[in-house]
Amino acid sequence: MLFKFKSQAVADVIMLDADGREMLKIIGKEPSPTGIVTVAQVPAAIAAIEAAVVRDEARPPDADDDAQGEEDDERSNGIRLRQRAVPFIDLLRRSAAAGKDVVWGV
Q: How high is the pLDDT of residue 78?
A: 78
Q: How high is the pLDDT of residue 71?
A: 47
Task: Tell me whether strands 35-37 and 13-16 are parallel, antiparallel or unpaired.
Answer: unpaired
Q: How high is the pLDDT of residue 60?
A: 78
**16 bridge partner residues:** 2
Q: How high is the pLDDT of residue 106?
A: 83
Sequence-ordered list of residues with C-beta below 8 angstroms from that of 59, at least 6 positions apart, any chain:
none
According to DSSP, residue 63 is labeled T
Number of structural domains in the chain: 1
Q: How high is the pLDDT of residue 75?
A: 47
Length of the chain: 106
CB atoms within 10 A of CB 1: 10
Q: How high is the pLDDT of residue 54?
A: 96
Q: How high is the pLDDT of residue 74?
A: 45
**5 bridge partner residues:** 13, 104
Amino acid (one-letter) located at 51? A
Stretches where the chain sits below pLDDT 70 are 61-77
Q: How high is the pLDDT of residue 68?
A: 52
Domain range holding 71?
Answer: 2-104
